[in-house]
């Protein structure tokens, strides 16, 4: 942090500049502090009581400085000591520290000037780039879009300037059937960071040519591009129901989402992909058959062990939905090590995960009771079910576990081995 002497030098350097700002804009210290609450403030400007920048610094007889309102509140509570040193005060008077107040005002005024200039520079660069986009093609267009995307991602004011000056319409017009993927990637990277109206999305982004391009780019782009495309499609899905099916019925979209969730190196991408798949399946039952036909179930089962808790819960939910279809049950049964992998999910993450996992196992059990019971018990299902029954889970889940335990005991080949694997007491037997 800057020392007091260094800040005195700071005051001298910027004195003329700051006074001109104060004269022209009459900046208020309280407003400056509120506007710039996210910046790092020198420690000498911080009140030791509130740990906030001081607006009216006053000094005690001990030499310690505090904000006036905070030290007066300290005294009103009956304290007769210095809050920092805990020394008894031999003089209870407080002296305004005008020098420090001036330093604080100078420092915040200069930071305000820098911030204001930066914002003006950003706005100017956005407007200049938009003018360039109207004139150029080829690699020059790609470069302009890259520059604009960086500004939009980094600055709120850039997004605001873009929206207020027709920039979003210009950028969206670049998405079409003959748009190159490199231009499309940059345009989508800009659009996905903007707060678009429903009317704009319907009129400018819901066209079949644009949706088709977004899906194609998602299938072939980088991981960042895949995530941006998925986010944009999710934005479009917020529109009326009749328009949703036009987007989600594409097998290319479903394939692209599965590619996104299979990239184990990027948990954010997996989360975005799984969330969109969940939304699609919940909205349209007809899509579930398509998901099963493109091999979604074995792909999701394969990535289960590598998922974080949030992604795991969504993946199990998706598998549970797909398990309600006969094709889904068959696909689950055919997955290698499906039963041991799902049994591991019981009592691992959350109550929801346990319920989804049990539903999946139950779907497999209905197809092949003896085979499922044998593999499940060998994988430790019995002891997991007992844990569920003895836990504080909801009654429905407990009942489901109890029924499953009974069915496994009936279909397990050797009842004595089943009992030993369950570690049941005589009473429970």
Instruction: Give bridge partners of residue 346 from the DSSP assignment.
Output: none
- Residue 378, SS3 per DSSP: helix
Nearest 5°: phi and psi at 58? -130, 150
What is the per-residue pLDDT for 9? Answer: 44
Residue 417 has pLDDT above 60, yes or no: no
The pLDDT confidence band at residue 82, using thresholds 50, 70 and 90, is: very high
Mean pLDDT score, 173-202:
88
Mean pLDDT score, 221-234:
90
What is the per-residue pLDDT for 240? Answer: 57
Share of the chain above pLDDT 90, in %: 24
Residue 69 has pLDDT above 50, yes or no: yes
Name the packing angle between helices 309-322 and 351-367 (round to 10°). 30
Q: What is the mean pLDDT of the chain?
A: 80
Mean pLDDT score, 176-204:
87
Query: What is the spatial distance between Cα 88 and Cα 211, in angstroms, rounded to a whole number?
Result: 74
- Answer yes or no: are the C-beta atoms of 263 and 270 closer than 8 Å: yes
Any residues with CB less than 8 A from the CB of 180 and at least 6 apart, and which? none
Share of the chain above pLDDT 70, in %: 85
Any residues with CB less than 8 A from the CB of 84 and at least 6 apart, and which? 48, 62, 64
The pLDDT confidence band at residue 20, using thresholds 50, 70 and 90, is: very low
- Residue 58, SS3 per DSSP: strand
Distances (CA, A) of 264 to 238, 258, 340: 28, 12, 21
pTM of the model: 0.67
pLDDT digits (tens, 9 = 90+) for 331-349: 988 888 888 888 888 877 7
- Residue 344, SS3 per DSSP: coil
Sign of the dihedral defined by the CA atoms of residues 371, 373, 374, 377, in that order: positive
| Range name among 100-104, 113-117, 349-353 with the lowest pLDDT average | 113-117
Residue 320 has pLDDT above 50, yes or no: yes
What is the per-residue pLDDT for 113? Answer: 78
| Range name among 23-37, 223-237, 378-392, 414-428 with the lowest pLDDT average | 414-428
Tokens matching residue 407: 């069915």
Residue 204 per-residue DSSP state:
I
| Range name among 89-93, 386-390, 407-411 with the lowest pLDDT average | 407-411
The pLDDT confidence band at residue 372, using thresholds 50, 70 and 90, is: confident
Query: What is the spatial distance between Cα 233 and Cα 215, in angstroms, rounded to a whole number?
Result: 9
- Answer yes or no: are the C-beta atoms of 236 and 201 closer than 8 Å: yes
Tokens matching residue 223: 């991981």
Query: What is the spatial distance between Cα 173 and Cα 187, in angstroms, rounded to a whole number?
Result: 9
Mean pLDDT score, 149-173:
89
Query: What is the spatial distance between Cα 200 and Cα 180, in angstroms, rounded to a whole number?
Result: 23
Any residues with CB less than 8 A from the CB of 133 and at least 6 apart, and which? 141, 144, 145, 148, 170, 171
Mean pLDDT score, 169-180:
87
């Amino acid at each position: 942090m800057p020392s007091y002497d260094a800040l005195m030098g700071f005051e001298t350097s910027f004195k003329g500049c700051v006074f001109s700002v104060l004269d022209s804009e009459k900046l208020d210290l309280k407003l400056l502090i509120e506007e710039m609450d996210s910046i790092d403030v020198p420690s000498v400007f911080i009140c030791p009581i509130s740990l906030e920048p001081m607006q009216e610094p006053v000094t005690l007889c001990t030499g310690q400085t505090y904000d006036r309102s905070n030290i007066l509140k300290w005294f009103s509570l009956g304290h007769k000591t210095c809050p920092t040193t805990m020394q008894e005060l031999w003089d209870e008077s407080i002296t305004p520290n005008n020098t420090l107040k001036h330093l604080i005002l100078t420092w915040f005024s200069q930071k305000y000037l820098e911030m204001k200039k930066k914002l003006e520079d950003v706005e100017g660069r956005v407007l200049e780039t938009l003018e360039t986009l109207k004139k150029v093609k080829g690699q020059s267009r790609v470069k302009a879009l890259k520059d604009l995307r960086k500004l939009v991602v980094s600055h709120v004011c850039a997004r605001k300037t873009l929206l207020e000056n027709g920039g979003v319409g210009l950028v969206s017009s670049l998405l079409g059937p003959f748009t190159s993927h490199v231009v499309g990637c940059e345009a989508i990277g800009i659009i996905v960071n903007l707060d678009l109206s429903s009317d704009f999305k319907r009129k400018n982004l819901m066209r079949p040519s644009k949706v088709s391009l977004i899906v194609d780019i998602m299938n072939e782009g980088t991981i960042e591009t895949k995530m941006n495309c998925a986010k944009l499609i999710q934005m479009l899905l917020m529109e009326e129901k009749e328009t949703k099916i036009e987007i989600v019925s594409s097998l290319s979209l479903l394939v692209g989402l599965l590619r996104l969730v299979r990239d184990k190196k990027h948990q954010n991408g997996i989360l975005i992909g799984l969330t969109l798949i969940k939304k699609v399946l919940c909205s349209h039952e007809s899509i579930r058959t398509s998901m099963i036909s493109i091999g979604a179930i074995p792909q999701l089962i394969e990535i289960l062990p590598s998922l974080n808790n949030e992604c795991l819960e969504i993946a199990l939910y998706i598998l549970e939905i797909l398990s309600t279809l006969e094709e889904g049950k068959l696909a689950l049964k055919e997955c290698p090590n499906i039963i041991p992998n799902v049994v591991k999910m019981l009592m691992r993450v959350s109550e929801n995960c346990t319920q989804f996992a049990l539903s999946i196992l139950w779907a497999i059990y209905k197809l092949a009771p003896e085979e499922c019971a044998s593999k499940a018990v060998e994988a430790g299902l019995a002891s997991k079910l007992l844990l569920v029954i003895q836990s504080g889970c909801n009654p429905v889940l407990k009942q489901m576990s109890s029924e499953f335990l009974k069915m496994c005991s009936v279909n397990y080949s050797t009842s004595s081995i089943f009992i030993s694997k369950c570690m049941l007491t005589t009473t429970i037997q």
